[in-house]
Amino acid sequence: MNKLITNRNLTIINFVIVTYFVLIYLLNFYKIDFVLIGVFREMLTIPFLLAQIVFLVLGIIHLIKNKTHFLTVISIIGLAISAFYTIGSFF
């Protein structure tokens, strides 16, 4: 399992998840609504929400157990901020 979760893989996955939710926010902010964008948003939001929580937990565990790079720490912090904002928007 440790070979799958390297600093590089974790950083890339975290930035992809954060980028997805930033794009969703920008699409909503600028009121951009196309059918194809709506289809992808509906199909990907729940898996990305679950992945956000899973990779936040895995990132924190990886942060505690292994020596990490600066960019990995930044990606985990970005993911935590994104998770806080995303989950907080439900309440």
Tell me the DSSP string of 7-41: HHHHHHHHHHHHHHHHHHHHHHHTT---HHHHHHH
Reported pTM: 0.92
End-to-end C-alpha distance for the chain, whole angstroms: 35
Q: Residue 30 has which token pair?
A: 């600028």
- Give residue limits of the domains in the chain: 32-91
pLDDT in tens, 10-55: 999 999 999 999 999 999 999 999 999 999 999 999 999 999 999 9
Answer yes or no: are the C-beta atoms of 14 and 80 closer than 8 Å: no
Q: Which of 1-5, 51-55, 70-74, 85-89 has the least mean pLDDT?
A: 1-5
Answer yes or no: are the C-beta atoms of 15 and 77 closer than 8 Å: no
**In this structure, which amino acid lies at residue 35?**
V
pLDDT in tens, 58-77: 999 999 999 889 999 999 99
